[in-house]
Structure 1
């Protein structure tokens, strides 16, 4: 699933890892300069929409900061 949110692209997908179990892989890219803000994975038990909503909350929190993601655009 790919979602555009407040100048960021959120990508979340569930796939099997090399060990054979499901993992949820996710990333957040800032559109203005293609900065990869977040890139990680979690166990496959979370629903994709739940992870997207958690990442939206994280973006909201970062945008409240003077220097979101610790870097200037």
Structure 2
């Protein structure tokens, strides 16, 4: 995880995952937070978010695309 300044946090523009359906099910949102990326539950945005530094974000996306987290 990485530290995010209040300024970066206040300027965050959250967008819903393209894989999220319109049925209101399990959805995540992502935002750019300076050099980090934030990930949060779209159903509970005030519950907080996970901030991931750029290098780890790129690695996570690669693993997801390879199907390493498919159920």
Q: TM-score range by the shorter chain?
A: 0.3 to 0.5
Q: TM-score, normalised by structure 2?
A: 0.40
Higher strand residue share: 1
